[in-house]
Amino acid sequence: TAAIAALRDGHLVGLPTETVYGLAANALNAVAVARIFEAKKRPHFDPLIVHIGNRSDVDLVAREVPPVAEVFMNAFWPGPLTLVLPKQPAIPDLVTSGLDSVAIRMPQHPVALELLQALDFPLAAPSANPFGYVSPTTRQHVLDQLANEVALVLEGGSCSVGVESTILSFSEGQPMVLRLGGISLEALEAVHGRPIPTQLSSSQPHAPGQLASHYAPARAIRLVAHGEECPAPGAPFLRFYQKEQPEWSLSADGTTGSAATRLFGVLRSLDEEPDGPEVWIEKAPEAGLGRAINDRLLRAAHRA
């Protein structure tokens, strides 16, 4: 297909995954990877996630897979879980921002999997949006901002998960969550059989997904705790869920899964009126995917 040829030639391709749309390049080609950073205006200190289509491809990317990491692969791949592992020398330093570790994931989306399995190299792919802006969850979102940067954008429908992958690192054999995402902390802990610590602070130099302001629309946003009323009478107020007014609800059915799927599309639609009055948004319950949603809402609402 055209996508395979473009990627072989070092060009960028918009890639649907179950989390968000990615901006993909050959992860083994430093020139192609450099184009990702240029297209997104992404700082070079922000490492990329490498995507693979087969479990056996892990060894091309990671030098070593600790047994504890294999347990998580078996449980959650393909799916929205990224593992940080020791890097193979074949992965260019640009991909990992010079770190000796590399972030790896096997996505679940059929279009992404089919493409990855047809290629003889892995794909480096961050979200297909300008750095710091809301991630794309439809093909049109990618075209709206990066049409001139990509050879093509594959069609994959709306992303079913809607928030980025959960990132798990291992130091001294112990898992640690670096970013909340499409696999809940509860699901990870159920597999691990023990609590898993998180390190989500905004002072982490290697992790701009952790910056205080990220996923940020132009429209001003204020947050309201889950279950609370809006303190500004008459202001636009998007609730987590209200049956009577689905158009002013984040979730279509009261679940955090639905809210995650819709979150970035809702934030983008607010920007159709960037100078409109500030919008109040009720946070999700702080459990399951609600944690990842609230993390994105906090960063979306943060003003530098």
Contact indicator for 164, 127 with CB cutoff of 8 Å: yes
* Contact window for ligand AMP (CB under 6 A) among 51-59, 202-210, 249-257, 280-288: 202-210
Interface with Mg ion, residue 138, by CB under 5 A: no
Distances in Å between the alpha carbon of 154 and those of 28, 70, 111, 157, 259?
A: 21, 31, 8, 9, 25
Residue located via tokens 């944690």: 291
Interface with ligand AMP, residue 167, by CB under 6 A: yes
Q: How big is the site for Mg ion, counted in residues (CB under 5 A)?
A: 1
- If the CB atoms of residues 96 and 249 are measured against ligand AMP, the closer one turns out to be 96
Among 30, 148, 140, 24, residue whose Cα is nearest residue 91: 30
Among 17, 268, 59, 23, residue whose Cα is nearest residue 162: 17
Contact indicator for 256, 284 with CB cutoff of 8 Å: yes
Interface with ligand AMP, residue 26, by CB under 6 A: no
Which residues, 6+ apart, have CB-to-CB distance to 56 below 8 Å?
none
- If the CB atoms of residues 60 and 238 are measured against ligand AMP, the closer one turns out to be 60
Among 94, 207, 270, 281, binds ligand AMP (CB under 6 A): 207
* Contact window for ligand AMP (CB under 6 A) among 98-106, 152-160, 217-225, 226-234: 98-106
- If the CB atoms of residues 101 and 294 are measured against ligand AMP, the closer one turns out to be 101
Among 14, 16, 47, 156, binds ligand AMP (CB under 6 A): 47
Residue 251's binding partner, choosing from Mg ion, ligand AMP, none, with beta-carbon cut-off 5 to 8 A by kind?
none
Residue 46's binding partner, choosing from Mg ion, ligand AMP, none, with beta-carbon cut-off 5 to 8 A by kind?
ligand AMP
Backbone angles phi, psi at 123, to 5 degrees: -115, 130
Restricted to residues 227-286, the positions that interact with ligand AMP (CB under 6 A) are none
Contact indicator for 50, 102 with CB cutoff of 8 Å: yes
- Written as six digits, the tokens of 231 are 């303190």
Interface with Mg ion, residue 261, by CB under 5 A: no
- If the CB atoms of residues 208 and 290 are measured against ligand AMP, the closer one turns out to be 208
Q: Report the C-alpha gap between 81 and 213 in whole angstroms.
A: 23
Residue 261's binding partner, choosing from Mg ion, ligand AMP, none, with beta-carbon cut-off 5 to 8 A by kind?
none
Interface with Mg ion, residue 127, by CB under 5 A: yes
- If the CB atoms of residues 115 and 125 are measured against ligand AMP, the closer one turns out to be 125
For residue 303, the minimal CB distance to ligand AMP (Å) is: 21
Burial of 260 from C-beta contacts in 10 A (0-12 / 13-18 / 19+): buried
Which residues, 6+ apart, have CB-to-CB distance to 195 below 8 Å?
189
Restricted to residues 116-135, the positions that interact with ligand AMP (CB under 6 A) are 126-127
Give the bridge partners for 152, in sequence order.
13
Residue numbers at the binding site for Mg ion (CB under 5 A): 127
Residue numbers at the binding site for ligand AMP (CB under 6 A): 46-49, 84, 96, 99, 101-103, 126-127, 164, 167, 169, 178-179, 206-209
